Chain A
Amino acid sequence: MKSTAAASESGRRAPVPAPPAEEKETGLPMLHTWNGVYLAVFGCFLFWVSLLYLLSVSFL
């Protein structure tokens, strides 16, 4: 943080540091990237909505 702040004070654009390893790794089996995790969560959302919709139409 200090280096980037110092860089902006001197008028230069701060170099964008590479994200730390912990930001890239999920540590989950099969879901190795965070985009994969978000996609899986979105899939869960669609799954719940589909189940709820099925329940709605099954007992009309």
Chain B
Amino acid sequence: MNALDFLVVIVSMVGIAAYGVWKTKGKRNLDGYLKGDPSMQWMGIGISVMATQASAITFISTPGQGFDSGLGFVQNYFGMPLALILISAVFLPVYRRLNVFTAYEFLGRRFNARTRLLGAALFLLQRGLAAGITIYAPAIILSTVLGWRLDLTIILSGCVVIVYTVLGGSQAVSLTQKYQMAVIFGGMVLAFVILVVKLPIGLTDALTIAGGCNKLEAVDFSLNIQKRYTFWSGLLGGFFLSLSYFGTDQSQVQRYITGASLRESRLGLMFNAVFKIPMQFLILLLGVLVFVFFQFEAPPVFFNEAAWKARSVRESGSELRAIEQEYAQAHERKRERMIAWVEAARAGDAPAEARAREQALEALQRSAAIREAGKAALLKAAPQASSNDADYVFIAFVLKYLPHGVVGLLIAAFFAAALSSKAAELNALGSTTTVDFYRHIVKKEAGDAHYVAASKWFTFFWGLVALAFALFANLAENLIQAINIIGSIFYGVVLALFLVAFFLRRVGGRAVFWAALGAQLLVFALYFTLNISYLWYNLIGCAACVLFSLILQALFGPDPESSSREAIQGCR
């Protein structure tokens, strides 16, 4: 990075944050602070929802996923449009008509106070832990490749987001997300165009090579449950995951309950239902095209070059240096065979093309085997290093092959994505703590100014928790996986609370509260005794809570505490 790149990063990041603070200064109204701009139109809501979901990891890691495994990951998003339709038709009208600040207020009105607190507590626990990772995950990648200090990267990006989220509240979050998304889309589109221009072959030839290397298998209808990404797992798993995330997670609910009308909120959600799949496809395709690019341009053995160089320059790094040379020779052979394949394909000679393709794939396998040997040698030299370098593929390409200024724009895009999702999380954590705990239990009668001040302090507190967690995360291994496990352990039960509230009208608060506790304990017990993928706990927790609710309701009989159920029904 040079001075121009740094200028682009600082101006776009600090400038957008400062604009958000300036534009929303003096907001003392609780409604405006927690819910945001009441005149927001559907496009603003849609972008805000999209920006909250798309973290820096989306734009750094997803191209790496495309590079490594092709387009198959796009199937994970197949359940999302259907979940958003259900939320728009059922969840959203109730949230808006009850005029709630948080999704958990709805649980209080439908069931009782303790079920509301249970839902809010599960959210705070899960999202509070995940908040640290939203800063940490991109910081570790950016600091490694840019040579910045990890702790300073975490503190600086954390402080920027805390300042504008605390000062401007939900309105500043939505406003800054709009401009941050403009930076992100501008950067990604520019990277895509430059990549296509830099390819030594045409786009059709590039797709021929990618398809021949099994990188374009976007839809797989097989029923094999061993496969990680299939149409069916994406449709079913993605549906439940999206339903719990968009329908019950306050960081998302807070983005779409604001807005000028129910129509605007609904259209904002439908905007995401239509455009999320093509957006993810294009990000993955970017990674696939980077894969094709590196069939002609010499790639590093290991894309986390800082980790590789730290070991290869040492006296003991002779094995790594030998592998580097071997890999470079293998790449030359592979490049020649790829060119022969493209020429045969262009000539339309099918048998010659088949032969050339076979030879090119052999050369590719040879290169891949040397790369794997390189990873193994690196792990031997540094057992604490991670052998997964997929997260570094795209950023390595950006830094080496894009012109200055564009590099700054891409780095700004990664930071913008980190800040936009982080801001929404902090905003939601502050709101839930204020509305569901402080205003509900500690101080029930106070003015708006008091609650706005309390909300600012709680947002600040959660910002500090996230910062501390991100700094501590430096010491832990497998942290991202740990956070995903924590999410899966709680998400199923939280979703079930809402599904019972909306669809099982006979079930009262007493039954669902004990059912949720029982289901949560069951999930904990299964987690410590079974050896299954953690994603299954989403389904197990949800199904168990729904089933227990029905059984307990039959045992308990009518629940006088849940009389407000009638009010909810009246709304629908």
Contact = CB atoms under 8 A, between A and B. Distances in A.
A48 to B, nearest CB: 5
Contact of B211 (A26, A34, A58): A58
Interface in B264-300: 266-267, 270, 273-274, 277-278, 281
Interface in A1-27: 1, 4-5, 7-9, 13-17, 19-20, 22-23, 25-27
Interface string B215-229: 011111000000000
Given A41-B270, A56-B219, A8 B566 contact: yes
Interface string A34-59: 10011001101100110011011011
Contacts of A5: 564, 566-567
A17 B568 CA distance: 11
B274 A52 contact: no
B207 A42 contact: no
A5 B208 CA distance: 64
B93 interface: yes
A4 B571 contact: yes
How big is the B interface, by class? 35 or more
A38 B85 contact: yes
B89 A4 contact: no
Contacts of A27: 263
B74 interface: yes
Contacts of A30: none
B278 A45 contact: no
B97 interface: yes
Contacts of A14: 566-567, 569-570
Contacts of A60: 211
Contacts of B89: 34, 38
A44 B274 contact: yes
Contacts of A44: 81, 273-274
Contacts of A49: 78, 219, 231, 277
A34 B74 CA distance: 27
A37 B270 contact: yes
B262 interface: yes
Nearest to B217: A56
Contacts of B216: 55-56, 59
Given A34-B266, A59-B207, A59-B211, A52 B563 contact: no
B277 to A, nearest CB: 5
B330 interface: no
Nearest to B234: A49
Given A14-B567, A26-B263, A52-B74, A41 B273 contact: yes
Contacts of B212: 59
B570 A16 contact: yes
A53 B216 CA distance: 9
B470 to A, nearest CB: 36
A2 B215 CA distance: 58
A14 to B, nearest CB: 4
Nearest to A1: B567
A52 B75 CA distance: 10
Nearest to B78: A49
Contacts of A17: 570
A53 B219 contact: yes
B98 interface: yes
B406 interface: no
A38 B82 CA distance: 9
B210 interface: yes
Interface string B69-88: 00100100010011011001
B56 to A, nearest CB: 25
Contacts of A58: 211
A59 B281 CA distance: 16
Given A23-B262, A45-B273, A52 B219 contact: yes
A53 B218 contact: yes
A42 B208 contact: no
Given A7-B570, A48-B281, 14 more contacts: A4-B566, A5-B564, A9-B563, A23-B262, A26-B263, A37-B270, A41-B84, A41-B270, A41-B273, A42-B85, A44-B81, A56-B216, A56-B217, A59-B212
14 contacts: A7-B566, A16-B570, A17-B570, A22-B263, A25-B263, A26-B263, A37-B270, A41-B273, A44-B274, A45-B81, A53-B219, A56-B216, A59-B208, A59-B210
